[in-house]
Amino acid sequence: MYEDEDNKRETLKSTFIKIVLVVLLIFVLMMLFPTKGFVTNYVDEKVKENSGSDNFNNNLLAMATAGSGYFTSSRLPKNTGDTAKMTLGEMYDNKLLVKFSDSNNRTCNSNKSYLEVTKKEDEYTMKVNLSCSDKEDYIMLHMGLDGTSFPSTSTARCEFVKNLDDTWAYGKWSSWSTKKATANSTTQVQTKVSKVQTGTKNVPHIAVMEGGATKVLYNGYVKYVCPTGYDNAGVYDSVVSCKKTTTTYTKEPIYKNVTYYRYRSKTLNSNVDTKWSSCDDNSLIEQGYVKTGKED
């Protein structure tokens, strides 16, 4: 009887030990060989991390490529220490880029992301800063003072073209001229009237001078004399006033109204816009540009 009870204890103990070993084995297997869902989630996270980094770099290089084409010699700072800045929002407004998103599918910060060009003593530098919800970083481009544009971030540049709507635009105004011009459907005319001196004329100015006659004794009689040169020169029996008229002349200008004309003509603008950019510039493709196949 006691032997049976001992056998039962040994059997239960052996069974318990086996169960514990099986549980431990399953736990070890789970640690060594994760479930399919665990593996899938782990891989997805790693792919997302890598793709996010690639997406940020592509967006940063797209800004750098657009900036390299925009900041040519006429748009560079003139004095050492001066800077020129353009935000990502201004790049969108100027159609240099189309809006892009980060790895979280959010648009990057339009104000904190920017291009900043600085003139130094021996070179120009361009800081390209990109601020997104997942990351913020920048790169620097360098160009000598005798350059005309920053180097492209792409090793190859391609020609892109886009068909535009036909538009008419006026050119510059001509110089003012007295030659008459007539407006029509392609010519715009402006006029102005100015006073122009054509010569001079003599204008008379008359003055009358009066004075008393000279009293003289003539043949025993008192006479009054106006000397030669006076209008009433002569001898008078009674008191008179001698008058002398003088005329002077001044030159005064002669004017006349003259009509002046100027004109400008309008012409049909080219219906094709051409841009050179990095061959992988997808922002131009998204704006409707196509590659022509030309490269430099």
**Structure confidence at residue 4 (pLDDT):** 55
**Greater confidence, 72 or 97?**
97
| pTM of the complete model | 0.39
Rounded to whole angstroms, how far apart are CA atoms 296 and 293? Answer: 10
Helices and strands (H and E) in the chain: how many? 4, 13
**Structure confidence at residue 6 (pLDDT):** 57
The phi, psi pair for 176, rounded to 5°, reads -65, 140
Closest listed residue to residue 278, CA positions, set 94, 61, 88, 65: 65
- Among all chains, which residue has been given the structure tokens 């970083």? 137
**Structure confidence at residue 46 (pLDDT):** 44
**Is 160:253 a contact under the CB 8 Å cutoff?**
no
**Greater confidence, 157 or 156?**
157
pLDDT > 70 in the chain, percent: 77
Average pLDDT over residues 97-124: 88
Instruction: Quick: pLDDT tens for 232-285.
Output: 888 898 889 999 999 999 999 999 999 999 999 887 666 777 887 777 777 778
